[in-house]
Amino acid sequence: MKNCKQVVLGIVFMSAVSLFPGMAAAEMKIGFVDLAKLSENAPQIIAAQGKIDAEFSSREKELIELQRKLAKMEEALATDGAVMSESERTTKERGILSKRRELKRSQDEFRDDLNIRKNEMLRTVNKKIGTVIDDFAKNEKYDLILAQGVMYAGDRVDITDRILKKLAE
């Protein structure tokens, strides 16, 4: 839906420029924002990533410890399995299988929770970035700000660094 809106805006813009080439170029103020650069450098994204890393680091350490325990169990079975009784070996194999399932389930939950948290963070930060771009465009009297689908944008119309400064304020 958003891409459709951008395409329509692009068509309207191109139509206006073709109908009134001299007037449109003289009166229209156009800017371009590199969203990829904003996503990499916006202080809000960097701060949010730090919070997420801190929030999930203990769970990640638990997963690493569970992997180590499983590896030790597998190693013990490999080295001592030949001298174990059949029932002892079966018990160890079941324990390993149980630990593998637990590890996989924990990894899946961790990955899902991390993705949900990252998506929440991105929604919040993207709203902030959108608000800053809107405010900037209104305050600087831009007629059109382009973001995606631009093949080339010269330095004169690239306002990404100016938006980054606003985000840092």
Instruction: Specify the pTM.
Output: 0.66
| pLDDT at 24 exceeding the cut of 50 | no
* Contact between 120 and 56 (Cβ < 8 Å): no
| pLDDT at 26 exceeding the cut of 70 | no
How far apart CA 111 and CA 91 sit, in angstroms, is: 30
Give the pLDDT confidence score for residue 155 in this predicted structure. Answer: 79
Q: How confident is the model at residue 21 (pLDDT cuts 50, 70, 90)?
A: low
| CATH number of residue 38's parent domain | 3.30.910.20
| Secondary structure (3-state) at 148 | coil
Between residues 1 and 81, the one the model is more confident about: 81
Number of domains in the chain: 1
* Contact between 40 and 160 (Cβ < 8 Å): no
∠ CA 40-166-122, rounded to 5°: 40
**CA-CA-CA-CA torsion for 63, 109, 43, 125, nearest 10 degrees?**
180
Structure tokens at 87: 């029932």
Average pLDDT of 86-94?
91
- Residues of the domain holding 74: 2-168
How far apart CA 93 and CA 78 sit, in angstroms, is: 10
